[in-house]
Amino acid sequence: MKTQIEQIKVKNFRLYRDLHITDLQRLNVFLGANGSGKTTFFKVFNFLSTCLKDNVTVAVNREGGFKELITRNSDPEKNFIEFEIKFRNFEQGEKSPLVTYHLKIGFNHGKVFIDKEVLKYRRGQRGKPWHFLDYSKGIGSAIKNEQDYDPKSKEIREDQPLGAEDILALKGLGQFERYKTIKSFRTLLEQWLVSNLQNEEMRKIGDVGADQQLSMSGNNLAQVASFIHEYHPDIFQTILTKMKQRVPGIDKVDIAINEAGQILLKFGDNSFTAPFISKYTSDGTIKMFAYLVLLHDPTPRPLLCIEEPENYLYPTLLRELAAELREYAVRGGQVFVSTHSPDFVDALQIEELFLVKKEQNQGCSHIFSAKKYDDGQISELYDNGCELGWLWQHDYFKGINP
């Protein structure tokens, strides 16, 4: 499914009192100082995913409760946490309509509830929006005749009450084929991944299994590599070829199973007579292999978020990593990345870069397109040949550095 998020609005979610991001691309990179809000922004996706897989109460409690989650100095009984995501599903064609999902979460007498959940898109330029689902506190309805969608047709609705006030209508209705637009967005929420690969986790010896996609921490790297090796040998060969090009000395990667039935990754170094297992590889080697496995997923995730991919990688590899991310994004999965690396930023097109800025006097953060930042001065310098990482290092991104 090739879905592209084009706009995101967030209200009263931690650092983001009133956030509105537009002009999102296939690859989007977020640059900002420590504590500016990059990780908090990525938490939006984890939060919404938990809302879907469990319920809103569970998602809120995992973040410390509603009073901790809502923006500071906001009255939790009078203010709402809100999310709005505008996206297109290009399975419907290049002229697919812009779909809007709006979720509004409230808190009253110690309980969390969904004040509003709407999924809609407009019919034509002036047509009235079709609300594919429209719910409040567990009560609402969904469109029954989506297949008849036309600027002139009349929507037919059916009531579908939910079991509780904190359950997403997406969770229930998205299981049915007849609600195609609802199911499309549910799939997006279910399958997106916020990746934060941890070297110690990736070195673990995994039990034999058929994991097909890498987890958040990468602790199933051996299982996923084994799956690709067995069922997609051409892709595995591509990964191996790129490992040979980027990691000096690595000439093969073997998959082995020990006597206990556990999967081992063995990296062959042409300087040694015997291969060594992943436990003893360098941080950079295991990280590069994991990124190649992640970015050559036979079934790309609709949205992939990666936190600080530059860690442990040699600076000259970062341009190649940016190219890999861009290729992945074009192939099918939209990509969001946070970074602190000027070398990685140098490899970007200006449309792909977004600046995260914390307003010190307000304690809230905003995100700006680099192309439109500082009245277009950054864009003019970029057009005249200045690389974005160089501009950042020389403090042209005013207010971004601490």
Q: In terms of domains, do 188 and 284 share one?
A: no
pLDDT of residue 362: 73
- The domain boundary residue, chosen from 192, 213, 233: 192
Q: Which domain holds residue 231?
A: 195-304
Q: In terms of domains, do 63 and 185 share one?
A: yes
Q: In this structure, is residue 395 part of a structural domain? A: no
Q: In this structure, is residue 177 part of a structural domain? A: yes
Q: In this structure, is residue 210 part of a structural domain? A: yes
pLDDT of 273 higher than 70: no
Q: In terms of domains, do 185 and 279 share one?
A: no
Counting the structural domains of the chain, the total is 2
Q: In terms of domains, do 108 and 170 share one?
A: yes
Within 13 Å, how many C-alpha atoms sit on residue 265's CB side? 29
pLDDT of residue 93: 55
Q: In terms of domains, do 297 and 203 share one?
A: yes
Q: In this structure, is residue 394 part of a structural domain? A: no
Q: In terms of domains, do 43 and 96 share one?
A: yes
Letter string b/e over residues 279-318, b meaning 16 or more CB atoms within 10 A of that residue's CB: eebeebbbbbbbbbbbbbbeebbbbbbbbebbbebeeebb
pLDDT of residue 127: 61
Q: In terms of domains, do 79 and 105 share one?
A: yes
By CB atoms closer than 10 A (0-12, 13-18, 19+), residue 356 is buried
Listed residue (28, 57, 62) closest to 43, CA to CA: 62
* pLDDT (average), residues 222-250: 89
Q: In this structure, is residue 136 part of a structural domain? A: yes
pTM: 0.91
Letter string b/e over residues 214-229, b meaning 16 or more CB atoms within 10 A of that residue's CB: bbebbbbbbbbbbbbb
Q: In terms of domains, do 135 and 260 share one?
A: no
Reported confidence tier of residue 146, pLDDT bands at 50, 70, 90:
low
User: What share of the chain has pLDDT > 70, as a percent?
Assistant: 89
- The domain boundary residue, chosen from 257, 288, 304: 304
Reported confidence tier of residue 247, pLDDT bands at 50, 70, 90:
confident
The residues, ordered by sequence, that sit 6+ positions from 31 with a Cβ below 8 Å of its Cβ are 38, 338, 339, 340, 345, 353, 354, 355, 356, 370, 392, 397, 400
CA distance 84 to 89: 16
Reported confidence tier of residue 276, pLDDT bands at 50, 70, 90:
very low
pLDDT of 215 higher than 70: yes
Reported confidence tier of residue 92, pLDDT bands at 50, 70, 90:
low
pLDDT tens per residue, range 108-126 = 999 999 999 999 886 655 6
- Report the largest interatomic distance among the alpha carbons of the chain, rounded to a whole angstrom: 73
Q: In this structure, is residue 380 part of a structural domain? A: no
Listed residue (307, 394, 380, 393) closest to 342, CA to CA: 393
Q: In terms of domains, do 147 and 216 share one?
A: no
Q: In this structure, is residue 291 part of a structural domain? A: yes
- The domain boundary residue, chosen from 304, 339, 372: 304
Q: In terms of domains, do 205 and 185 share one?
A: no
Reported confidence tier of residue 95, pLDDT bands at 50, 70, 90:
low
Q: In terms of domains, do 131 and 207 share one?
A: no
pLDDT of residue 339: 96
CA distance 162 to 171: 10
Q: In terms of domains, do 279 and 292 share one?
A: yes
Q: In this structure, is residue 130 part of a structural domain? A: yes
Structure tokens at 286: 């295991």
* pLDDT (average), residues 365-384: 92
